Structure 1
Amino acid sequence: MAFSELAVKQIERAAAAFLEARRPPAGIRHQVDLQVRINEQSVEIVELRPHHSDLSKAVESPTAKAEYVNETQRWRVYWMPSDLEWHSYEPQPEVKSVDAFFALVNADENACFFG
């Protein structure tokens, strides 16, 4: 089930605030940048870098993901280590809101999301 229009607007507002705080300066965004994607029932943060042999192409590295669970009305938090598989973020596997998800990722207290 996809997010409602109201939920999408709330996610977009939270994502914009996160990107404002976390995105690299405009002058280096051609080298590294962040993007937030809204999917069916999840929100994903992706790091973008130019491909080493073709600078016109971007290499995407998923960084963090939150998946909304209707039954509990909570967000499950995931991170992607070097094995390139999503893993539950064990220090805090769930949060109550999308704002809490972005705050958790921005703080990155365990250096799991941005190293």
Structure 2
Amino acid sequence: MAFSELELQRCERDLNAFLAKRRPPPSIRNELDVVYRIDKQNIEIVEIRPDWRDPSMVRARPFARITYVRSGAYWKLYWIRASLKWHSYAPQATTRHLSEALDVIDRDEHGCFFG
């Protein structure tokens, strides 16, 4: 089930605050950028950059996924491994609020999201 309009606005507010801290300066965003995608109850944080072999092609690589579990009213946090499979972020797999999950990603204490 997708987010309601009010829930979507809250999510976008938190995500835009996160991106305000994490996006690169506007002068290099054509070479590297960080954006988000929302699909139903999944939010992906995505790195966008030109392909290193063919700069005319742009690659989008998700590196964090946050899923809202409505039945339990909590958020699950995932990171993507080199195998391109999503794994629960073991140090803190769930949070009560989206902003808390975004803080975990921002701190990246184990180098899973930003390396």
TM-score range, shorter chain: over 0.9
Distance 1:7 1:56 in 2: 37
User: Which residue is 2:48 aligned to?
Assistant: 48
User: Which residue is 1:77 aligned to?
Assistant: 77
Cα distance, 1:14 vs structure 2: 0.5
Q: How does the TM-score come out when normalised to structure 1?
A: 0.95
CA deviation vs aligned residue, 1:6-61 (integer Å, no higher than 9, x gap): 01000100111000001111111111110111110111100001022432321111
Unaligned 5+ segments in structure 1 are none
> Do residues 97 (structure 1) and 103 (structure 2) align?
no
User: Which residue is 2:66 aligned to?
Assistant: 66
User: Which residue is 1:14 aligned to?
Assistant: 14
Stretches of 4+ moved more than 3 A in 1? none
> Do residues 30 (structure 1) and 30 (structure 2) align?
yes
Cα distance, 1:95 vs structure 2: 0.7
Distance 1:61 1:23 in 2: 15
Query: What SS class does the counterpart of residue 16 from structure 2 fall into?
Result: helix
Cα distance, 1:102 vs structure 2: 1.0
Over the aligned positions, Cα root-mean-square deviation in angstroms equals: 0.9
Cα distance, 1:77 vs structure 2: 0.4
Percent identity between matched residues is: 43
Distance 2:62 2:38 in 1: 13
Distance 1:46 1:22 in 2: 11
Q: How does the TM-score come out when normalised to structure 2?
A: 0.95
User: Which residue is 1:87 aligned to?
Assistant: 87
Distance 2:78 2:7 in 1: 20
Letter in 1 for 2:107: A
Q: Paired residues, what number?
A: 115
Query: What SS class does the counterpart of residue 91 from structure 2 fall into?
Result: coil
Distance 1:86 1:20 in 2: 25
